[in-house]
Structure 1
Amino acid sequence: MSKTSKTSKPKSKRNSGKRAAVSAEAKQAIAPVRDLESRVEAYRELCRAYLKYPCVMRPSALTGFERRLHVRDTIVEDHAVRIDEKAEGAKEKFEALAASLYSFFRGTSLLFHRDMLGEDERMPTVLALGDVHPENFGIMPNADNVPIFGVNDFDDVLYAPFTWDLKRGATGFLIASEEIGGHGKKLRKKITRKFLEGYREGIGFYARHDKEASQQMRADNSPKVVRRMFKKAAKSRKAWLWGRYLNETGRGFPANEELTPISSRIKEFQGYVNEVAKQNGISPEGRAGELRVKDVCLRHGQGTASLGLARYYCLIEGPSKDATDDLIVEFKRARRSALEGLVPENDFFAGGEGDRIAHGQSVHLSNGDVFYGNVEIDGMSFMSRERAPFRDDIDLDDLSKKSWKRYAHACGLALAQAHARSDDAGELDYRIEPRILEAMEPDELFIDDILCFARAAVKRIKSDHQCYRRDLALGAFDMSQKRYR
C-alpha cells in the first residue's frame, strides 16, 4: 500500500573481515521464523506478479502433498510466536481447529486469504472487515452504552475489494449452515444467498438515502431474529459483574480458570486507560466515573483466532463506587491483518496493528464503543475495547430454518452499512455505494459467481482440514519452522 513503510531486509550473516569464534552449538545455529514479515513481503511480491502476469500460479492451485505442505507451513507461520513462547492457549487453539470444520475456517483466516491473493483488482475498494462469518456479527455497546447490532471483530480490517468480505462471508455461511445447522445443500444455498441479497439491499438503501453515517440497528428497529438477540443479551450490569467478574469484596477480580488477578500492575494499566481516554476524548465523569483502575487480570481461553494471545481486563470504578456500575476495559494483543500483502495495492492506509483495529471500529460502526484504542504493552501493540453485560454473539444452534435465512439477511445489511461508511469515516474521498452497485451488475451473475467461489472454497477447506488433523496428530505444530546451516 502506498503509505505503508517498506520492510528492511535482514542483514547478511557473512563477515567481510575477521571470522568470529563460534562454539560447536553455534555452528549448528537455527533461526526460528518468529515473524510473518518475511513471508508477508514474499506474498506481496507474488500478488504484484499475479496482477502483472496472467499465468502466475497462486496457492489455491496447489494439490496433493504440495498443498498439504502449504497448509502446514502457513499455520505454523501464523502461530510461530505462540508456538515458540509456548503461549497459554496455543495448544487449545490447535485442538479447537481440529475439532470442527467451522472452527478450522474461523481460525485460519491467513490460509483462506492467501488463496485469494490479488483477486478482484478491478472491484471497488472499501475498508473490509477481513474476517466475515456468521459469528462476527453481534450485540455490543455504542458510545451511549446502548446495545446495537453490527460487525464486531475488527482484527483483520484493511482496505480491499468489497468482494473479499462477501466471499469469506458466503463461505462461512455455507460451512456453518451445514455443520451447525445440519441443513441440506439447497437450504445452505438459500441461506448464503440471503446474506448476499441483504448486502445488495443495504448498499442500495444507502445509495438512495445516504444514512449510513448515523443509522444503527437497535432493539427497536432491528429484524425480528436480531431483536431476539437483544432480549437474550439483556442483563443488569450488577448481576453481570457480581456473577462473573468481582471477588467477594467487590474491589477486584476473582482468581479462577478464566481470570488471574495481577493487581501489582494497577498503576501501569492506569496509564494505559488514561492513554485511551486521551485518544478518544473520554472525560473522567459520567458512567466512566473518575476512570480509576480498581484491578487488573489476565483473561484466559477466549476467542478462536486469538487463543494464545495475551489479553488483559481492567476493572474501572463506576460513578456510584458501590461495585454495581463498574466498567471493564479489555486490552487484547493486536495482530497483523491476514489480508496484508495479499490484496491488490491501493491508495488507502488503515494504520498499523492496534491503531488499524481502532480505525476499523470507528469506520464500521456509527457512534460505536468509545474505548476502542491502541496502546503499547511490553513493547507490543494492543487494542482496547469495553466489555459489556449485553455484548453477545448469535447462538447458531438456536436458529430455525427460517431464522437462518433471516439472520443471514440481517448480517448482509450490517456488512453493507460497514462498507458504506468507508467514504464517511474512512479514507475514501468519493461515494462508494453507486460504484458497488454498478460492480454487482448483473445481480444474478454476481451472486452466482460468489456462490460458485464459496462452494469451491468449502471443498478446498474440507481437504485442508483433513491434512491439518493428520499433521496435528503427527506433531507438526509442536515447534515452529527453523532454518539450519
Structure 2
Amino acid sequence: MATTTKGKTAQTKTGNRTKSGTSTKKSTASTETGTKKSQQTKAEDQPVKKSEGRVEDYRGLSQRIAGGEVVMPPVHLTGLARRKHVRATLREDHQTRIEERSSGAEVKFEKLAGSLFKFFRGTALLFYRDLAGTDANMPTVLVLGDVHPSNFGVMPNADNVPIFSVNDFDETIYAPFTWDLKRGALGFMVAAGEEGDQKRKTQRKIVRKFLEGYLEAMETYAEYHTEKADEFRMDNSPKVIQRLFKDAWNERADWLKDDYLDEHGKGFRSNDELTPISSRRDEFQKYVEKLVKSNGIEVPHRAGELKVKDVAVRHGQGTASLGLPRYYVLIEGPLKDASDDIIIEFKRARRSALEGLTPPTGFHAGDQGDRIAHGQRVQLAHGDVFYGAVTIDGISFMTRERAPFRDDIDLDDLSSKTWKSYAHVCGRALAQAHALSDDAGQVDYDVEPGIVEATQPRDLFISDIMQFAEEALERLQQDHAYFRADQKHGAFNNIDMVYR
C-alpha cells in the first residue's frame, strides 16, 4: 500500500502506546501488574473488524500527486509489497461479493486466473490505482473508464436502429482524456496478443492505429464540430464494422423464442442462465414505472402499455460485474403474441473504479446508477431510451434494453489487417464520446482544440502512450502471476480484517 496508509497505521499504534500509560511512571509493581492485566483484557475484548476501504486514502494520495508532491504510489511497488497490494486491492474490490459468498465471485476469480485479458478486464481498480493523480495537466473529459476491444459494439439507438459505439459505462467519470487512451492501448495490446494470437510487433501497430484513429477524429471535431451528428451505422461504417452489423442482426421474434421465452411464450424459460421470479411481477411493475418517471423516458410505441410480463434473475454475465445482482424484465409488446416483447435489464451499480483516484475536478457525474446513466446520455448520442437508473430497496441499479442486435466483435476471428481496421474505428468512436463532454456533459470549455494541442507533437504523444502500454503489460503479467498464486492458496475466500 502507499505511504498514506502506512503513515496512518503507524500513527494509530503510537497513539495506543501513549494511552497505555508510558507518559506517567508508576512506582508499585501491583499497579504495573494491574495495568498489564487491564491492557490484556482490553485486547481480548476488542472485536475483530472488517478492514475499511481505502478509497479516501487513495483520494488523498491522488490529490498529493496531482499537486506535485513527491510520494511513493503503488505503481512503483515490487516483490512481496506489490503482491500484497494486488491481493488487498482485489479483496477490497470484491468485498461485498466475498462476504455474501456469491457464486459469481468464485466464477469470476476462476475466469481471471485463466486469462490475462479477463484479468485485465476484471481489475480496473488495480489498473487505476497505478494512475492515481497523474496527468493533472491534461484536459478533462467524461471518460469511459474501461476502454478495451470488447467494450465497443452494436446496440440500439433512440430509434431502435443498430449503431456501433462505446457500450459500457459502468466506470464512467470525469478524468483526464489520456486515462482512456492508456487503458485502451493496454487493452488492445493484451487482447491482440491473447485473443488474436498476434506477435508483439503487430500488437504495437494495432495500438498505433487505435491512437491514430482517436487523434484524427478529434482533429476533425475540433475543426467541424460534427460530433453530435456522427453515427456509425450499417451504411457508413468500415467493412469490419459492417460485418459485425450483419453478424449481430437477428429478428426479434426468433431471438426471443430461441434465447429467452418458455415454450408458451408467456414468460422466461428456466435454465442455467435464467431463473424466473414471476412472483415479483407486480413489484417490478412499480420499478419500471419509477424508472420511466424519474428518468424522463418517453416510452416508445413498441413498448406497448409498458406491462411487465415476467421477471428473471440473470446469471453469469459480464466479467467485472460477475456476482452482482442482475434482473431481466420482460415487457409485453403491442401485438401481445410474444413476437415483439422487449427486455429491460436491471444491473446493480457500483462505485466507479476511478472514484477518488482522478486529479481534483469540479465536474461530478453523479453516484452509482445516476453516474452510469449520465455517462450514457453524454457519450452515446441518440442512445438507448431505456438507459437510466433506479433505486431498489436502497440499492442503485442501472438499466438498459437488451436487443436482438446488441453484440460485440469476435476478437479471435480478426486477422492482423482487420485488427488494425477495428482498432482505428474504435479510436474514432472513443474520440466522439470524449468530444460530447462539452455538448451534453458538464465540461464548460471547448475540449477538442485543447486535446489537439495537448497531443502535440503527435509522434511523441503516441510514443509515450505506447511505451506506457508496454510497461503496463509487463506489470499486468506479474500481477496476474501474483493473483494466480494467491488464488491457489485461497486468498480470496475472505476479506481483509483489522485484528487490533
| Counterpart mapping for 1:177-192 below 5 A | 177-192=192-207
Equivalent residue letter for 2:483 = Y
* Distance (Å, rounded) in 1 between the aligned partners of 2:68 and 2:415: 47
Give the alignment partner of residue 470 of structure 1, picking from 458, 465, 485. Answer: 485
Cα displacement (A) at 1:214: 2.2
In structure 2, the residue matched to 1:419 is 434
In structure 2, the residue matched to 1:5 is none
In structure 2, the residue matched to 1:91 is 106
* Distance (Å, rounded) in 2 between the aligned partners of 1:425 and 1:201: 22
| Counterpart mapping for 1:399-414 below 5 A | 399-414=414-429
Paired residue secondary structure (1:392): coil
In structure 2, the residue matched to 1:445 is 460
In structure 1, the residue matched to 2:375 is 360
In structure 1, the residue matched to 2:335 is 320
Of 264-273 and 321-330, more deviation after overlay is shown by: 264-273
* Mapped pair 1:267 → 2:282: yes
In structure 2, the residue matched to 1:348 is 363
* Mapped pair 1:246 → 2:246: no
* Distance (Å, rounded) in 1 between the aligned partners of 2:112 and 2:85: 17
| Counterpart mapping for 1:7-46 below 5 A | 27=45, 29-33=47-51, 36=53, 39-46=54-61
* Mapped pair 1:387 → 2:402: yes
Paired residue secondary structure (1:131): coil
In structure 2, the residue matched to 1:173 is 188
Q: Is the 8 A contact 1:103 1:304 kept in 2?
A: yes
TM-score (norm 2): 0.90
Q: Is the 8 A contact 2:295 2:389 kept in 1?
A: no
Of 282-291 and 204-213, more deviation after overlay is shown by: 282-291
Cα displacement (A) at 1:312: 0.3
* Distance (Å, rounded) in 2 between the aligned partners of 1:53 and 1:447: 24
Paired residue secondary structure (2:389): strand
| Fraction of identical pairs, as percent | 61
Relative to structure 1, the CA distance from residue 285 to residue 340 in structure 2 (aligned partners, 3 Å threshold; closer, same or farther) is closer
Of 119-128 and 244-253, more deviation after overlay is shown by: 244-253
Q: Deviations over 1:250-288 (max 9, x none)?
A: 111011100001111111111111122223444455101
* Mapped pair 1:79 → 2:97: no
* Distance (Å, rounded) in 2 between the aligned partners of 1:279 and 1:142: 20
| Counterpart mapping for 1:31-430 below 5 A | 31-33=49-51, 36=53, 39-284=54-299, 286-430=301-445
Q: Deviations over 1:154-205 (max 9, x none)?
A: 0000000000000000000111111111111211100000000000011011
In structure 2, the residue matched to 1:20 is none
Cα displacement (A) at 1:25: 12
* Distance (Å, rounded) in 1 between the aligned partners of 2:354 and 2:44: 36
Q: Is the 8 A contact 2:74 2:85 kept in 1?
A: yes
Equivalent residue letter for 1:346 = T
Q: Is the 8 A contact 1:280 1:370 kept in 2?
A: no
Paired residue secondary structure (1:66): helix
* Distance (Å, rounded) in 2 between the aligned partners of 1:282 and 1:112: 35
Equivalent residue letter for 2:332 = E
Relative to structure 1, the CA distance from residue 91 to residue 412 in structure 2 (aligned partners, 3 Å threshold; closer, same or farther) is same
Cα displacement (A) at 1:27: 2.7
* Distance (Å, rounded) in 1 between the aligned partners of 2:400 and 2:298: 16
Paired residue secondary structure (1:149): strand
Paired residue secondary structure (1:337): coil
In structure 1, the residue matched to 2:22 is none
Cα displacement (A) at 1:24: 11
Cα displacement (A) at 1:29: 2.1
In structure 1, the residue matched to 2:19 is none
Q: Deviations over 1:306-328 (max 9, x none)?
A: 00000000000001111000000
Equivalent residue letter for 1:29 = P
Structure having the higher helix fraction is 2
Cα displacement (A) at 1:329: 0.2
Equivalent residue letter for 2:62 = C
TM-score (norm 1): 0.93
Of 44-53 and 127-136, more deviation after overlay is shown by: 44-53
Equivalent residue letter for 2:98 = I
* Distance (Å, rounded) in 2 between the aligned partners of 1:337 and 1:284: 29
Of 441-450 and 241-250, more deviation after overlay is shown by: 241-250
Larger gyration radius, structure 1 or structure 2: 2
Cα displacement (A) at 1:298: 0.3
* Distance (Å, rounded) in 1 between the aligned partners of 2:154 and 2:433: 15
Paired residue secondary structure (1:296): strand
* Distance (Å, rounded) in 1 between the aligned partners of 2:287 and 2:388: 10
* Distance (Å, rounded) in 1 between the aligned partners of 2:489 and 2:442: 46
Cα displacement (A) at 1:54: 3.8
* Distance (Å, rounded) in 2 between the aligned partners of 1:311 and 1:192: 33
Structure 1: tracts of 5 or more residues without a match: 1-13, 15-22
Q: Deviations over 1:397-443 (max 9, x none)?
A: 11011000000001000000000000110001221100000000000
In structure 1, the residue matched to 2:7 is none
Paired residue secondary structure (1:135): helix
* Distance (Å, rounded) in 1 between the aligned partners of 2:66 and 2:264: 61
* Distance (Å, rounded) in 2 between the aligned partners of 1:192 and 1:184: 12
Q: Is the 8 A contact 2:307 2:332 kept in 1?
A: yes
Q: Is the 8 A contact 1:311 1:333 kept in 2?
A: yes
Cα displacement (A) at 1:74: 0.1
* Distance (Å, rounded) in 2 between the aligned partners of 1:298 and 1:31: 32
Paired residue secondary structure (1:89): helix
* Distance (Å, rounded) in 2 between the aligned partners of 1:301 and 1:135: 17
Cα displacement (A) at 1:88: 2.7
* Distance (Å, rounded) in 2 between the aligned partners of 1:186 and 1:216: 32
Q: Is the 8 A contact 2:298 2:385 kept in 1?
A: no
* Distance (Å, rounded) in 2 between the aligned partners of 1:147 and 1:347: 35
Q: Deviations over 1:132-168 (max 9, x none)?
A: 0010000011111001100000000000000000000
Structure 2: tracts of 5 or more residues without a match: 1-15, 17-40
Cα displacement (A) at 1:208: 1.5
Cα displacement (A) at 1:216: 1.0
